[in-house]
Structures are given as structure tokens and as C-alpha cells.
Structure 1
Amino acid sequence: MTMYDVTSDDWSLDGFVRTIHQGGVALWSWAPAEKRVQLDALARQFWGGLDSDVQPLSALFRRIDARDREEAAARWWQSAEAPGPYAFDFRIAHGGEERWISARGVGGDGGRQGGWVRAIFVDTTQEHQAEEAQRRLASEMAHRLANLFAVAGALTAAAAREAETVSDLVGELRSRFADLHTAANLAMRGAVDSKGRVGLADVTAALLAAYDRDGAAVTVDIPGDVTIEGDTVTNYALIIHELATNAAKYGAFAQPGGRLDVDARRDGERIALCWQEKGCVLSEAGDGPAGFGSRLLDQTVASMDGALARSLSADGLTVRFTVPSAA
């Protein structure tokens, strides 16, 4: 294997510059006394395609995002005098695009040659975008976990008031928490789209799968464009769980030949869902208007700024509710 001596004369300045440019590093220098900046081709590209390699310092400062300009200018001037390595990041706002740049070098006499101070620029946009995405993810996870704990606490308190025995309480909570777990998996894993929304069809089908073992009792007709915010999945899970529980106790899932049709559509800025049980005879809607489940259903829809209506017919039960699509 032939070794290449990078210290030889063959390692030209042009070759060196091409190499560092390929690594996203641009060269620049500035004259503090003259308040002028000299930029290589990549540095000019970083700053929005400047037409000349020599620019007044003020021209660069004007392109720094207003949120970072004052601090970046202070660090810039400080780097001319303070000895030792420095690095400071700032955003460039130009042409509707935002780019993160890191200015790096050696301050004081260590970076000077004559009246000029030499340094480099590194495009750190991808790193900052990754950090921002990580912060958003952490914030979103914290928000969803807080919602889950709040829902779990409310369910436990309400179920404890209604349960006649410990066994009843355990069974009620186990069933509801199992559906919350299913919904949380959808909201935190593969069912989330690039905007952090979840397909309502995915949530509904997953929660009803246990009631439709032969694949004939349930029809879910929800288009793919009907999506919900990830942090509202638990609310939808509570609603669907309650309706399915009533259907299993009194309605379509409790009577031979019973069927369930669920459809949802976008209606302007709202989502309209229709839950229709057919082939079953009901004397009253499930556990009645005063029951725990019905109260939970009404309260959950109300908390989403929604509206709910129930209607009985000779053939079954229809429940309709609408909520804001952003809820």
C-alpha cells in the first residue's frame, strides 16, 4: 500500500481548501481596525451568496438573525482580543431560509497575521435542527405522559366511587388501562405521521379488534386524511372503549347478528364520527344517562370542546360526536 505524505509539497493550498470545503468548513478572516471581512467561496455561500469576497463587517451583522445579533456581535469583537480558542453559533436569516453558522478560531494574537484575524465558519444547521427535534420530542413525550397520568388518576378515582367490590374495581381499571396502553403505543410509535398526528382509523381498528374476532361484526370506514393530534389519542381511546364496552354489555356485540359501523369524516375544521350499532334491541343506551361510563363519555367529549348526541331506534343505537380537528 502506497502511503501519501500529507506534509509534502504535493499537498497544495488548493487541495487543502477543497478538502475542508468538502467537510463543510469555510475560511474567513477579518480586520478589526478596518471593520472588514474577507470570505472564501464557501463562506460567501453560507452568508447567502455574497457577490464579493471582501465585505464591511456591518453587512454580515445585518444578515444575522435579530434573535442572535447582539450576542454574536459581542462575541465577535471579544474574539479579537481574548486569547485562546473560541466558538459561537448564530443564525443567518436570508432569503426566507434559516442557517446556523458556528464561528471558530483562536482569539488574541494566536489567530492574527498582521492586521487580520483568521478563523473558520462551520455550517451547523443540521446539528441544531437535530437538537431542536430532540427537544420537541422530549417536550411532547412529557406532555403525553402527563396526560396519561392525569387520565389514569381520574379513571381510578371515578371507578373507585362506582365499584362495589375490589374485584370490580380491578377489572374495570385493567380493561381501561389496556386500551390506554394500545392507544399510547399508536401515539408514540409507528402510527405517527411527520406532523405528529395519528390516523383515527388506526386507533379505532386497534381498539375494536378484540370485539371482532371473526372479522364480520365491525366495519370501520375512516379515510386516511382523518388524523388526530398525538396527545389526544387517550381521549379517543376512552370514548371508543366506553362505546365498545356498552356494545359488549347491551348492544351489537351482546346480541346474535349484531353489527357495528364506525365512520368519520372531516367537516371543515371539525371531525365528525358516527358510531352505529345495528341488529340489536336496546331499551336504553347502555348504562343509562347517570352511569359512570356515560358520564365519562360526556365529560371526555366536552373536554375536547366537542358535542355528542345519542339516539335509539328499533334496530339499534346511533352515537354521533364532533370535535375540533386540532383537539
Structure 2
Amino acid sequence: MPGNDVRFLLVDDIRENLVALEALLRRDGLEIHTAQSAAQALELMLVNDYALAFLDVHMPETDGYELAELMRGAERTRRLPIIFVTAADMDETRRFRGYEAGAVDFIFKPIDPVILKSKSEVFFQLGCQARDLARQRDEMRAMALHRDQAMARLKAHADNSPLATVELDCDLNLRVWSQGAERIFGHKTRDMLGRPVAGTRWLSEETIHLLRGWIADDEGQDSAPRYTTEAIAFHAGGHEIACELYASSLCEPEGQHRSLTLQVLDISERRQAEAMRSLLIGELNHRIKNTLANVQAIARQTLRQSTGLEDFDRSFSGRLQALSRAHSILSDATWSSAPLDDLIADQIKAGTLDGDRLRQSGPKVQISPENMLRLALTLHELGTNAQKYGALSRSGGEVHLSWRCEGEGLVLQWQERGGPHVTPPVRTGFGHTLIGASAGGQDGSVDVDWQPEGVIWTIRLTQGVTPVSGDAPVQKALTSVTVTEESLVGRRILMIEDEPLVALDLTFELEDVGAEVVAVARTLRDALREAADQMVDLALLDGNLGGEKVDAVAEILSRRGIPFCFVSGYGPEHLPAGFRTVPIVQKPVDPARLLSVLHQISVTPVAETL
């Protein structure tokens, strides 16, 4: 390549001499530059590197000796070899002056080609060697730069990686302790390097024994052996850290596998998450079985006390709905303590209690999940009994619900006024038994006083009650939600529900009041088709279909102007975001609530419900 050729510089004021000298020196790999004056030569030497300069001794203005002295005065050309070319006889004075000026040799005119080539060959070879060395130097610099950049990247990765990087020699002395290791284990690098791992109290003896075994088992194969295990390490503060170790046994230059590189991942949070998941699964399993057991007990006892199927259906459904609504309140509170006010407000919303005739007073308190479920059943039974036989069965009757904190517990009193004359019941029904069995909870108590002017229930909870500080006692009357039920005879209804039994049950309920279920869609694809094609008056839309969102179905129904409600176990936060005002009928479904909602949306313009 021309750019890598060795360069010679020829300086002579006579053009013909330059042509002749260039012709004698020409060869592959040699680039020859010529100059006819000292100034021109100096200019070329400022921009080019030369392996040899031939200078004519006798030149006008600045001769060869003077040019050589100028070259020796400049750092760039100080070491450039010079051969003087002269036609004059060489005496000792001139020879001394030439060598003093920096010449390495002389060539006399007329030039002998053999002598010229033999003398120039030495400097050509030296120039080739210098060129090769320069290339190697540049390559080495580039390799060193690449190495430094790679090492910098590796260090940055190691320092910022969630993994700790640790290197041990064959005697398990620490060679490398990364910043990741500092972050995870709290030991400073300066305190760890050079120490035997056994003396750091970082790993257990069992794990150290395992590391020794990895090195001992290495048979020197070409690829670096890899190992992995889980272990317990110790933080500088003394607490345990669950880790995963990934190890590679590395070969040293002398050919022996003498080092072990570890990458250590802190899995403490993962272990905690796994333990929490196991706990939650167990707790969920426990709660589901407890709930099913409660439902079973309620069903059996309600059936035992019911006078007929209609009475059983009304009583059992009401109690099941009370449990379901309590579960919804607890879900909103992530199954931690929930406000007692929310439970009372939910009973009013469901119509169990009449907000216009309820007088409630007491401090703001949070109650535990167990107490929430028990009180939900209790208030449902109390409200139902009051509507059937007590104060709420007559106009002007009222219920006074008050509570106060007592130690770590709560005393809640239900007092009826303005109802019919009260006499103690001859036979105790399941509602009375249910209140007595569940209201007080563990170590609690339930007392009833059959006053002629109104029954008084006193319920004591001994635990699971937390006062909300800074809140004054509340005294308020809430307005109940009343819904008018009218006939749905002849209404064409689209049901979108993925649970076959639920769809079947709801279909029977709707057909019993004269409505017609024209189609049932159980998959998202079917729901999209039926919502777009069916001519219907109303629609029931499940919260999701086989785990798929129903937003697109809701949009089609809304666009077509078909009133609909959600039928779901989800709360509003998990339903389509653009339809927050659409009514929700919670599962398990209360048929009366469903029919009321369908009547409501059938008489309300779609624009008002969406």
C-alpha cells in the first residue's frame, strides 16, 4: 500500500541530478520525494516522515551542510539519517564538517549505482522495520484501548449488576470483591481482599467445603467447569442472606485450574415472596373452605327452619348476599380491618336497614375480617326481623344502633322503638340462633332484652376492634336506596356469562317474571357477535369472559344504545374504565336486586347510565 511505503528525500538544486538519482533508487515499497532547495526540503520534512535524506553539498543560498544543521536543530528531523552527495574532492576538513553536521555517509559523483544501492539498502530495511514497528505499536495501542474499554465496561457492569462478583484463588483467598458484593453483604473491598474466605465469616463452613470440592474435582478440561448451588451467606451486620452461587473454575497461565469465580445473587426477597405466596395460598384455601362451610351451615339451618321453598329461597339468598357484601368490603380493604360505618352503609344500600328510620351513633372504628363477616350476618338478621316483626314493620318505628369501645373490644347495642308490643318468642328461630352463635365472636357475648316497647340486643366483641384516632363520634341517619320493581314481561334480554350454572340460574329467574333470554354468550368472540347482531332490549354483561376483558363488548352495547348492567364478582376498579356509572349486580346474585336494576336501566335513557 502506498501509504505504508518507506520514504526517501532527495535534495539537489539541479533537476537532472534528481531524475538520475531517483532512477537509480526506484524499487517496490519505496516512495521518493524530491526538493530543489533547502526551503522546499524543510517544508516536505514538516509533513512527512523519511527513512533517509540525500543532500547535495553544493546548493545556492543554503548548502547541504547548512541544511543538515537546520535539520539537527528541529526535534522532528534531528534523528533523520543524512548521506551527503558531492562532486568535490573530499578532504579531511570537509569530511569532518559533514559528520559534524550529522551525516552518516558520503557518496561522490559520478555515482556508482552499486555503492548507492548498497548504502541505501541498509536504510531501506531500517525504514521497513520502523514502519512495521510503528504499525505494531498502533495495533498494540488499539488493542490496549479496546482492552481498557472492555475492562471498563465489565467493571461498570459488575459494579452496577445485581449480582455480586467474587474471585477466589485455589486456596480460597479473596482476589476480587465487587461493588455489588459490597452492596449485598456490607463488607468493604479493602477489608476482604487477600483474606481467606474462611476467616471472613461471610460463608458457612458447609459452603466453603463445597467450594473446595469444586476446585478439587476440576480435572483440567478445556472448557471452564461450571457449578451452581443455593447457600446462606452472612451480612456484615450478622443477618443471614439467602443466595444462589454460580461458579466457574478458571485456568491460570501455568496451566492449572487455580481460581474460582463466583457470581452471587441475593434471593432473600424471592424466598420471602415464595413463603408469602405459600402462606396466602394456604390462607385462601382456609378462607374458601371456611366460607363454604358457613354457606353449608346456613343452607342446612335455613332449610331446617323454613316453611317452604319460597321462604327458604328468600332467607338463604338474603344471608348469602350479606356474606357476599361483607367480602366485597374486606376485599376493598385487602382483607385487613375495615370500617364499621361501611358495613352499616352497605346494609342500608341493600335495603336490609331503612336509612330514614335508623339512628346510629358511635366512634369511628375498624373491625377485623372475622368480626366483619359475623356482624354482616348479625345486622342482616336483625334488620330482617325488624322488618318482619319489629319496629320497621310499622310506620313511625325506629332502630337506634349505638356502639362504644371497651378495652380492646366493642359493645354494640341494637334498640327498637315504635314497633308492635314485644313478647318473648315461644320458639327460637334460626335467625335468633345465628345471631347468638356468631355475633359476639370468640370470647364475646350476645344478650337480648325483650322489652315490651322494643327488643334490645347487646353484642360484645372482646378483640379485633381498632379505634380510629382523631375522629369524633358520628350521629347520622342515612337514606336507604329504594327501587321500584315493575314487570319485565316481554323484554328481550342478551345474557353474556361464561359460567353455565350461573347463566342457567339467571335465565330461570328472568323467565319467571316474563322476560325472554334470546341468546347466551359464553366466550368473548360470541359476545362480540351477539352484541353486534342481536335485537334486544337489555343485556347482562359478565365482568370478564374466560379471563378476557369485556371492554369491546361494553362499547358495542353502548354504541347501539342497548341498556346493560355488569354481573360480576369484581368491584368497579376491575371493570371497564369507561363505564364507571353502569350499575353492577354483585355475585352471588340477589334475584330481587337483579330485577330492580334491570327495571331501572330499562326506564332510564342510556346516556344517563353511561
TM over 0.5: yes
In the other structure, the counterpart of 2:157 is: 19
1:293 is paired with a residue whose SS is helix
2:218 aligned with 1:218:
no
> Residues 212, 32 of structure 1: CA spacing in aligned structure 2 closer, same or farther, 3 A cutoff?
same
In the other structure, the counterpart of 2:501 is: none
Q: Which amino acid aligns with 1:84?
A: R
Q: Which amino acid aligns with 1:180?
A: L
Separation of aligned partners in 1, 2:376 and 2:301: 17
In the other structure, the counterpart of 2:197 is: 57
In the other structure, the counterpart of 2:344 is: 204
In the other structure, the counterpart of 1:323 is: 461
Separation of aligned partners in 2, 1:324 and 1:36: 59
Q: How does 1:181-196 map to 2 (within 5 A)?
A: 181-187=324-330, 189-192=331-334, 196=336
Separation of aligned partners in 1, 2:352 and 2:359: 9
1:33 is paired with a residue whose SS is coil
In the other structure, the counterpart of 1:88 is: 230
The CA deviation at 1:137 is 2.4
2:409 aligned with 1:267:
no
The CA deviation at 1:97 is 6.2
| Correspondence for 1:294 among 429, 432, 455 | 432
2:383 aligned with 1:240:
no
Q: Which amino acid aligns with 2:347?
A: L
Q: Structure 1 stretch 144-153 or stretch 314-323: which is displaced more?
A: 314-323
Separation of aligned partners in 2, 1:236 and 1:71: 54
What per-residue deviation string (whole Å, max 9, x for no partner) do you get for residues 281-325 of structure 1?
44136x666221111211224652211112244653332212232
| Correspondence for 1:166 among 309, 313, 329 | 309
Separation of aligned partners in 2, 1:319 and 1:213: 16
The CA deviation at 1:52 is 0.9
What per-residue deviation string (whole Å, max 9, x for no partner) do you get for residues 62-81 of structure 1?
x67xxxx6875665555554
The CA deviation at 1:157 is 1.6
In the other structure, the counterpart of 1:227 is: 367
The CA deviation at 1:8 is 4.5
Q: Structure 1 stretch 174-183 or stretch 76-85: which is displaced more?
A: 76-85
Higher RCO (CA < 8 A, seq sep 6+): 1
Q: Which amino acid aligns with 2:419?
A: C
The CA deviation at 1:85 is 3.9
2:285 is paired with a residue whose SS is helix
What per-residue deviation string (whole Å, max 9, x for no partner) do you get for residues 96-140 of structure 1?
86654332233x558998533111122334433433333332222
Q: Which amino acid aligns with 2:313?
A: V
> Residues 222, 71 of structure 1: CA spacing in aligned structure 2 closer, same or farther, 3 A cutoff?
farther
Cα pair 2:169 2:175 within 8 Å, conserved: yes
| Correspondence for 1:155 among 258, 281, 298 | 298
In the other structure, the counterpart of 1:277 is: 416
| Correspondence for 1:306 among 427, 444, 467 | 444
Q: Which amino acid aligns with 2:291?
A: L
> Residues 12, 34 of structure 1: CA spacing in aligned structure 2 closer, same or farther, 3 A cutoff?
closer
Q: What RMSD over aligned residues (CA atoms) do the two structures have, in Å? A: 3.6
> Residues 250, 135 of structure 1: CA spacing in aligned structure 2 closer, same or farther, 3 A cutoff?
same
- What runs of 5+ residues in structure 1 fail to find an aligned partner? 1-6
> Residues 58, 70 of structure 1: CA spacing in aligned structure 2 closer, same or farther, 3 A cutoff?
closer
In the other structure, the counterpart of 1:178 is: 321
> Residues 211, 251 of structure 1: CA spacing in aligned structure 2 closer, same or farther, 3 A cutoff?
farther
Separation of aligned partners in 1, 2:173 and 2:297: 64
In the other structure, the counterpart of 1:3 is: none
> Residues 86, 219 of structure 1: CA spacing in aligned structure 2 closer, same or farther, 3 A cutoff?
farther
1:280 is paired with a residue whose SS is coil
| Correspondence for 1:101 among 221, 230, 243 | 243
| Correspondence for 1:134 among 274, 277, 293 | 277
Separation of aligned partners in 2, 1:263 and 1:98: 51
Q: Structure 1 stretch 48-57 or stretch 175-184: which is displaced more?
A: 48-57
2:447 is paired with a residue whose SS is strand
- What runs of 5+ residues in structure 2 fail to find an aligned partner? 1-144, 219-224, 466-610
> Residues 312, 124 of structure 1: CA spacing in aligned structure 2 closer, same or farther, 3 A cutoff?
same
Cα pair 2:440 2:459 within 8 Å, conserved: no
Cα pair 1:250 1:282 within 8 Å, conserved: no
2:262 is paired with a residue whose SS is strand
> Residues 49, 35 of structure 1: CA spacing in aligned structure 2 closer, same or farther, 3 A cutoff?
closer
Cα pair 1:204 1:220 within 8 Å, conserved: no
The CA deviation at 1:93 is 6.2
In the other structure, the counterpart of 2:183 is: 45
2:393 is paired with a residue whose SS is coil
Cα pair 2:444 2:460 within 8 Å, conserved: yes
Q: Which amino acid aligns with 1:104?
A: Y
> Residues 213, 272 of structure 1: CA spacing in aligned structure 2 closer, same or farther, 3 A cutoff?
closer
In the other structure, the counterpart of 1:4 is: none
> Residues 266, 116 of structure 1: CA spacing in aligned structure 2 closer, same or farther, 3 A cutoff?
farther
> Residues 127, 233 of structure 1: CA spacing in aligned structure 2 closer, same or farther, 3 A cutoff?
same
Cα pair 1:311 1:319 within 8 Å, conserved: yes
Separation of aligned partners in 1, 2:401 and 2:438: 19
The percentage of aligned residue pairs carrying the same residue is 21
The CA deviation at 1:176 is 0.9
Q: Which amino acid aligns with 2:414?
A: W
Q: Structure 1 stretch 122-131 or stretch 149-158: which is displaced more?
A: 122-131
